[in-house]
Structures are given as structure tokens and as C-alpha cells.
């Protein structure tokens, strides 16, 4: 099998590479399925080994369009893998029309080769071969590259609600004997704070119940996947099925769930997608062994019956029931909270960054439809499943 496209990459800012030209190879679905790229170059840093879970999740995407679908780029220099980045095939709607989108996943450059423009070159190539290219949950350093390349930026405000004190105490005291005494005290303080917050919280939704759903019911698809915004990501039944049954990193504590909020007669008034992830080290502060719950996406079908805050309260019930140490929720731009997040015990904590690029031929008028109006959520790209 032959790798189809190899370019001698244009180097950023005129830097030259001592070990010869950098080549960027496109690995398509057929090659990726056969793992052809794993046998072609020397990969001392093991960059191409992404693990079985991620590989099979990517291959199972309902939006893989055929054997030529690009799945991965490999940056190679003198026969050695120096960087790579995957594509997760997805679907985005522009007006009434669906388009394939290549979501960025897993860009990594060999530490010995960083700061030479390899990631920038890979992203240029990812952009060049995609009619729509997007990223959800870019790292701070990667975000700088996307900005320099002129991608459209979306930022979601991240809110976090602490549920348990244990990870924080362990972060600062480790196994020190004082941690044994302090942990229950800190838990009690947190519980008191939560009771105080509950008194300020808006009234809880009445008469509605949560119903776990293994899949999106087909009769809801036209509404959930309806034209909510000019630019919006796909929310079809196949997308839900994929997102509910795949994850890149296995851990017994990890799970995703879809819940419907229903009336007593089972009529749905809202839906929500949540996930639980175990982190050996959570956040840049490195809280150890943390179970983090996230509200990935949601939709309210009956706004007169349920407010966004009511839905978030129900999502917190689900995630606290899973034993989460903290709950995060990333709100899209323009989402007005009117201070209510604090009344539910959430504090603002940084941002989640997303980036999009549309090929000129698509004629997307970003002036008429600016990024803050796009329905792209924290559940998009590889962010929810990774």
C-alpha cells in the first residue's frame, strides 16, 4: 500500500530544518484501517500509537465518507515520524445543507522537534485539505497556532461546581497525616456552603422526571437536529449513537449518558448529554484522581415548562449521583446567566476554546453569521469522547 499525498512542507517564517525537508503525508481511511502508516516510518517517540479505543472510535464515525476520507497526517523527516495529527470525520450544517467537517484530534509533535513550526505546518495542511476544519477544546499553545493561522475563534465560559473536597486536600497535603483530619472538615464546610447556595437557588422544576435514553428517539430527531442556527453541528440519531458508545480513553469510571426530561405522560420537554471522566491529574493545578462530570450539550423543547437553570439542576443531580468530585459546564458565547450560575454553586474557571475554518468556496459570510451565533458546543469534535 502506498501513502497517497506527500508534500515537502513550506516552512514557517523561513526556518530551515537541519535534518532535511519535512514531508506531510495524508493517511486515508483505507490506510488507517490497515494500519499501513504504522509500518512505513521509524517512530521512536511512539506518536502514531494512539491505542485501540481511539482508533476504533474514529473508524466507527458515522461520517466517514469512504476509503479516501482523510484520517491522519504524519509529519516525517528523513524517515522518522516527528509529528502527527488525526481527523475525526463529522458533519456540520451551513444553512440547509450538510457538509463534512474534519475535526482536529490528537496533534502531537515529538518533544525533540518542537518550536520549529511542525505543528503549524500540520495545521496548515489539515486546513488545506478540508472544506471545513474545526477544533473543540484546543490547548492554550495550540490555540495560539490557530489564531496565527487566522481561524475563526469560539470561546465558551467554563463553570465548575466543586462537589467533594478530597481532590483539593490531596493536591495540597498529599498523604500527610493532617489530610485525614482535614478532609472530613473540608467536606463538611463544602456541604454547608452547598446548603446555603441551595437556599439562594431558583426553584427546582416540578412534575418533571429524568429518563435515561440509550439513543435519541427517532421521532425527536427532526426537532433536536432542526435548524437552530445558520451554522450548527449535526445532532442526528447516528451522531448520538456514536457519542454515547465511544470514548478514546478507557477507564471503568468513564461514561456518557443521554437523558430526556419528561412530563408525567412521558412527553419530552428537554434533553441533555452528560459525561463522567476520571482524571489522574485534573486541571493545570493537577488535582489528583478526580472524577469530573460535564454537561456536554442540551436542548429545551418546551421553554415554557423548563428553564435552562432548571435543566442544569437536573444535570447536576445526574452527575452527583455518579459520585463526581466536580461538575463542569461550558456555556456558549452569548449565553446570559444573569448571575444564576453562582446561585447553583458554580464558579467561572477559565475558558474552552474552539476554532473553525471554512473553505472560501463554501461562501460562508462570517460578517452576517458571526461565531457567537453558531450552534457548536462542548460536545463537538473529539472533546466529548476524549
What are the residues binding ligand COA (CB under 6 A)? 11-13, 15, 107-109, 114-120, 138-139, 141-142, 144-145
We find the least distance from the C-beta atom of residue 357 to ligand COA, in angstroms, to be: 15
Which among 76, 96, 92 is positioned nearest to 133, based on CA atoms?
92
Nearer to ligand COA, 103 or 271 (CB): 103
We find the least distance from the C-beta atom of residue 44 to ligand COA, in angstroms, to be: 15
We find the least distance from the C-beta atom of residue 269 to ligand COA, in angstroms, to be: 36
Task: Using CB atoms within 10 Å of the CB of residue 244, give its burial: 0 to 12 exposed, 13 to 18 middle, 19+ buried.
Answer: buried
We find the least distance from the C-beta atom of residue 200 to ligand COA, in angstroms, to be: 37
Nearer to ligand COA, 103 or 298 (CB): 103
Nearer to ligand COA, 150 or 303 (CB): 150
The span from the CA of 241 to the CA of 44, in Å, is 36
We find the least distance from the C-beta atom of residue 113 to ligand COA, in angstroms, to be: 7
Residue 310, C-alpha cell as written in the block: 432548571
Place of cell 482535614: 182
Nearer to ligand COA, 80 or 194 (CB): 80
We find the least distance from the C-beta atom of residue 133 to ligand COA, in angstroms, to be: 14
Nearer to ligand COA, 102 or 120 (CB): 120
Phi, psi torsion values for 227, nearest 5 degrees: -75, 70
Nearer to ligand COA, 71 or 118 (CB): 118
> Helix H segments across the chain?
29-34, 52-59, 118-128, 140-148, 166-173, 178-200, 221-224, 237-245, 308-321, 340-343
Nearer to ligand COA, 103 or 287 (CB): 103
Nearer to ligand COA, 139 or 211 (CB): 139
CA angle 110, 111, 114 (to 5 degrees): 90
Nearer to ligand COA, 84 or 259 (CB): 84
* 322 Cβ neighbours under 8 A, 6+ residues apart: 255, 276, 291, 293
The residue ranges of DSSP E strands in the chain, in sequence order, are 5-8, 22-28, 70-77, 80-94, 97-109, 132-136, 152-162, 209-213, 231-233, 255-262, 268-282, 287-300, 326-331, 347-358
The span from the CA of 372 to the CA of 156, in Å, is 10
We find the least distance from the C-beta atom of residue 163 to ligand COA, in angstroms, to be: 27
**Which residues in 302-321 are b (16+ Cβ under 10 Å) and which e?**
eeebbbbbbbbbbbbebbee
SS3 2: coil
We find the least distance from the C-beta atom of residue 136 to ligand COA, in angstroms, to be: 10
- How does DSSP classify residue 229? S
Residue 163 · residue 324 · CB < 8 Å: yes
We find the least distance from the C-beta atom of residue 109 to ligand COA, in angstroms, to be: 4
Amino acid at each position: 500500500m502506498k501513502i497517497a499525498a506527500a508534500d515537502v512542507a513550506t516552512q514557517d517564517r523561513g526556518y530551515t530544518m537541519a535534518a532535511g525537508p519535512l514531508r506531510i503525508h495524508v493517511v486515508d481511511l483505507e490506510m488507517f484501517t490497515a494500519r499501513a502508516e504504522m509500518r512505513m516510518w521509524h517512530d521512536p517517540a511512539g506518536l502514531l500509537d494512539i491505542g485501540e479505543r481511539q482508533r476504533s472510535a474514529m473508524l466507527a464515525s458515522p461520517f466517514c465518507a469512504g476509503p479516501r476520507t482523510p484520517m491522519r497526517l504524519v509529519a516525517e523527516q528523513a524517515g522518522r515520524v516527528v509529528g502527527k495529527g488525526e481527523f475525526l470525520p463529522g458533519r456540520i450544517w451551513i444553512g440547509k445543507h450538510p457538509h463534512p467537517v474534519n475535526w482536529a484530534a490528537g496533534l502531537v509533535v515529538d518533544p525533540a522537534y518542537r518550536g520549529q513550526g511542525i505543528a503549524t505546518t500540520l495545521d496548515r495542511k489539515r486546513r488545506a485539505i478540508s472544506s471545513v476544519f474545526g477544533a473543540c477544546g484546543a490547548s492554550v499553545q495550540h490555540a495560539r497556532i490557530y489564531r496565527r493561522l487566522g481561524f475563526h475563534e469560539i470561546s465558551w465560559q467554563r463553570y465548575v461546581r466543586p462537589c467533594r473536597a478530597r481532590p483539593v486536600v490531596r493536591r495540597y497535603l498529599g498523604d500527610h497525616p493532617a489530610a485525614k483530619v482535614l478532609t472530613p472538615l473540608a467536606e463538611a464546610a463544602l456541604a454547608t456552603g452547598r446548603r446555603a447556595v441551595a437556599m439562594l437557588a431558583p426553584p427546582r422544576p416540578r412534575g418533571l422526571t429524568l429518563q435515561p435514553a440509550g439513543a435519541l428517539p427517532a421521532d425527536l430527531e427532526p426537532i433536536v437536529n432542526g435548524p437552530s442556527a445558520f451554522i450548527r453541528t449535526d445532532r442526528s440519531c447516528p451522531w448520538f449513537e456514536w457519542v454515547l458508545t465511544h470514548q478514546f480513553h478507557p477507564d471503568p469510571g468513564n461514561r456518557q449518558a443521554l437523558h430526556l426530561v419528561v412530563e408525567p405522560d412521558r412527553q419530552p420537554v428537554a434533553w441533555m448529554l452528560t459525561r463522567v471522566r476520571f482524571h489522574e491529574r485534573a486541571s493545570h493545578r493537577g488535582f489528583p484522581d478526580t472524577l469530573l462530570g460535564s454537561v456536554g450539550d442540551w436542548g429545551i423543547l418546551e421553554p415554557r415548562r423548563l428553564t435552562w437553570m432548571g435543566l442544569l439542576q437536573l444535570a447536576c443531580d445526574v452527575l452527583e449521583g455518579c459520585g463526581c468530585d466536580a461538575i463542569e459546564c461550558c456555556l456558549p458565547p452569548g449565553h446570559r446567566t444573569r448571575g444564576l450560575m453562582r446561585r447553583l454553586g458554580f464558579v467561572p474557571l477559565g475558558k474552552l476554546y474552539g476554532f473553525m475554518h471554512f473553505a472560501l468556496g463554501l461562501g460562508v459570510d462570517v460578517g452576517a453569521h458571526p461565531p457567537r451565533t453558531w450552534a457548536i458546543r462542548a460536545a463537538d469534535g473529539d472533546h466529548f469522547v476524549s
